[in-house]
Amino acid sequence: MLTVHDNADQAVSGINDDAIVLIGGFGKAGQPVELIEALLRRGSRNLTVVSNNAGNGTDGLAALIGAGRVAKIICSFPRQSDSKLFDAKYRAGEIELELVPQGNLAERIRSAGAGIGGFFTPTGYGTILAAGKETRIIGGRGFVLESPIRADFALIKALKADAVGNLVYRKTARNFGPVMASAATCTIVQVSEMVETGDLDPENIVTPGIFVNGIVVVGPSVRSKPSTEPGL
Amino acid sequence: MTERLTRNQLAQLVASDITSGAYVNLGIGQPTLVSNYLTASQNVTLHTENGMLGMGPAADGEEIDEDLINAGKIPVTELPGASYFHHADSFGMMRGGHLDVCVLGAFQVSVAGDLANWHTGEPNDIPAVGGAMDLAIGAKDVFVMMNLLTRDGRSKLVHTCTYPLTGVECVTRVYTDLAVFLVTPDGIRVRETYGCTFEELLQLVDLPLLAPQREPESRLNS
């Protein structure tokens, strides 16, 4: 059942303390900043956040971490030259970090959405990020068993939604959105525009509405100069 | 004897070795320079891990779009024929062996082709891996681009990596300012040297190396 919310605060009103939350975005591209800021206002604590990065600058995910709401982050690339809020929490021992190679992160989320119980991947084999994990030699090559990441909520950003929740994205802002949408009990999407059902070409829909539970329109994103900080 | 290569000369050399029509991922930092030397006739398609094939040059002025960035989060442009896809597909392209070449920087490469390029292992260093491990094991050819020596003169081509590994036996070639190394089942073969002789190179790296092979007769005669 799809709910169209009046505002971001209403959209995140079901996210309580201790929730596991997938947050889309690669750096600032595709990061659902308005939903994250609403979650910050809601005040939920002890969150586990799954996102590629651990926040840039001082807004969005960085602000949520800076406010001490995130107990644990599962991500691939936390450290950047503008990740000061995460860096401070990490060095103070106030946030737990589970570091995951980026492709394993995406596939762990995808596999949760696809009902897979785990998968063997060559990524990370023989490295410290595979320490303690089950391994297997398949076809003469080493593989590591990785587990799915299922969440209570996914907060993602898309370009447009129709009234049944079908989504289209914009350029590299798509990134983790489609896999995260499939892997949460409740997926909440912020979009720039909502269109009538039938206005999106069915051939071009990227995320079918079956994966979407809540929509909120936050207006078109401001085209601003992204940070030019280096990072993987 | 030719001179030691500059960073740009090294990038040009790597670019010239990429086969026509290849799908290529260029890592952050020095490898990005390679794109400056790819020619139109090479028809190379650039992949960026955050979900794009057909990536164009860095964006400038009005072209800058916060939704169109590369793996280093730098604004870029799209070329005709570009495509966008989600992260699981993007990393499936790597892991599934669909990329022909990736070019990465490195802290160390071992004689077996082990790569260390993501973490110094220092207690104060906050680790960040990004897509490095997926790239290292995924592409058909993994080219490393680096200075051969550290600032204090130690070889970064080593018997065994002392930094935490990114991938095991994954590097196929090492391009450095002083030599190009091929990782082969017989050991590391030097393809050519720059600004030093093979014997001087042996002294610098203190590892057993296979000498450059003489040009095949057929190539000389053609």
Residue type, B56: G
pLDDT tens-digit profile of B18-28? 999 999 999 98
Contact (Cβ atoms closer than 8 angstroms) between residue B91 and residue A107: yes
Calpha distance A66→A201 (Å, rounded): 41
CB-based contacts of B3, cutoff 8 Å, min separation 6? B194, B195
- Transcribe A148-179 into DSSP letters: ---EEEEEEEEEEEETT--EE--GGG-TTHHH
Which DSSP letter does residue A225 get?
P
Q: Where are the domains of chain B?
A: 7-210
Which DSSP letter does residue A112 get?
H
Tell if the CB–CB gap between A232 and B66 is shorter than 8 Å. Answer: no
* Chain center to CA of B119: 17
> Which site among B25, B50, B84, B163 would you substitute to test the A interface, given the most A Cβ atoms closer than 10 Å to its Cβ?
B50
Two tokens, residue B89: 């597909």
CB-based contacts of B40, cutoff 8 Å, min separation 6? none
**Distance (Å) from the C-alpha of residue B87 to the closest C-alpha of chain A?**
5
pLDDT tens-digit profile of A44-77? 999 999 999 999 899 999 999 999 999 999 999 9
Q: Is A2 exposed, middle or buried (0-12, 13-18, 19+ CB in 10 A)?
A: middle
Backbone angles phi, psi at B62, to 5 degrees: -65, -20
Contact (Cβ atoms closer than 8 angstroms) between residue A73 and residue A51: yes
In chain B, at which residue ranges do the beta strands (DSSP E only) sit? Answer: 23-26, 45-48, 52-58, 76-84, 101-104, 108-110, 115-116, 141-146, 157-158, 173-176, 179-184, 187-193
Calpha distance B70→B56 (Å, rounded): 10
Q: Where are the domains of chain A?
A: 3-118+148-217
Tell me how far CA of residue B57 lies from CA of A163, B60, B65, B77, B113, in angstroms: 37, 9, 13, 6, 31
CB-based contacts of A143, cutoff 8 Å, min separation 6? A120, A121, A122, A125, A135, A136, A137
pLDDT-derived band at B1 (thresholds 50, 70, 90) equals low
Chain B, 201 to 220: residues with Cβ < 8 Å from chain A are: none
- Asked whether residue A80 carries a pLDDT value surpassing 90, the answer given is no
Tell if the CB–CB gap between A104 and B134 is shorter than 8 Å. Answer: yes
Q: Which of A106, A127, A232 sits opposite B128 (nearest CB)?
A: A232
pLDDT tens-digit profile of B91-143? 999 999 999 999 999 999 999 999 999 998 888 889 899 999 999 999 999 99
pLDDT at B218: 46
Burial B107-127 (b: 16+ CB within 10 A, else e): bbbbbebbbbbbbeeeeeebb
Nearest partner of B191 among B218, B214, B217, B220, judged by Cα: B214
Nearest partner of A168 among A191, A142, A145, A147, judged by Cα: A191
Instruction: Kindly identify which residue of chain B lies nearest to residue A82, measuring between CA atoms.
Output: B73
Q: Lowest-confidence range among A29-38, A200-209, A215-224, B140-149?
A: A215-224
ipTM, two decimals? 0.93
Tell me how far CA of residue A105 lies from CA of A125, B127, B177, in angstroms: 15, 15, 35
- Asked whether residue A144 carries a pLDDT value surpassing 60, the answer given is yes
User: Which residues of chain B are within 8 Å of residue A169 when distances are taken between CB atoms?
Assistant: 84
pLDDT at A221: 52
Calpha distance A21→A155 (Å, rounded): 7
Calpha distance A50→A76 (Å, rounded): 9
pLDDT tens-digit profile of B158-192? 999 999 999 999 999 999 999 999 999 999 999 99
Tell if the CB–CB gap between A107 and B85 is shorter than 8 Å. Answer: no
Tell if the CB–CB gap between B133 and A121 is shorter than 8 Å. Answer: no
pLDDT-derived band at B8 (thresholds 50, 70, 90) equals very high
Contact (Cβ atoms closer than 8 angstroms) between residue A30 and residue A173: yes
* Beta strands A3-5; B115-116: pairing state: unpaired
Two tokens, residue A12: 């995140």
Superfamily of the domain at A3-118+148-217: Glutaconate Coenzyme A-transferase (3.40.1080.10)
Task: Confirm or reject contact between A46 and chain B (CB < 8 A).
Answer: no
Tell if the CB–CB gap between B86 and A109 is shorter than 8 Å. Answer: no
Q: Is A43 exposed, middle or buried (0-12, 13-18, 19+ CB in 10 A)?
A: exposed
pLDDT at A90: 95
Contact (Cβ atoms closer than 8 angstroms) between residue B154 and residue B205: no
pLDDT tens-digit profile of A155-175? 999 999 999 999 999 999 999
> Domain B7-210 falls in which CATH fold?
Glutaconate Coenzyme A-transferase (3.40.1080)
pLDDT tens-digit profile of B183-195? 999 999 999 999 9
Q: Across chain B, what does the average pLDDT equal? A: 94
Chain A, 113 to 152: residues with Cβ < 8 Å from chain B are: 121-129, 142
Kindly report each contact of residues A196-202 with a partner whose C-beta sits within 8 Å and lies 24 or more positions away, as own/partner.
Answer: A196/A162, A196/A163, A197/A162, A197/A163, A197/A164, A198/A162, A199/A162, A200/A160, A200/A162, A200/A166, A200/A168, A202/A166
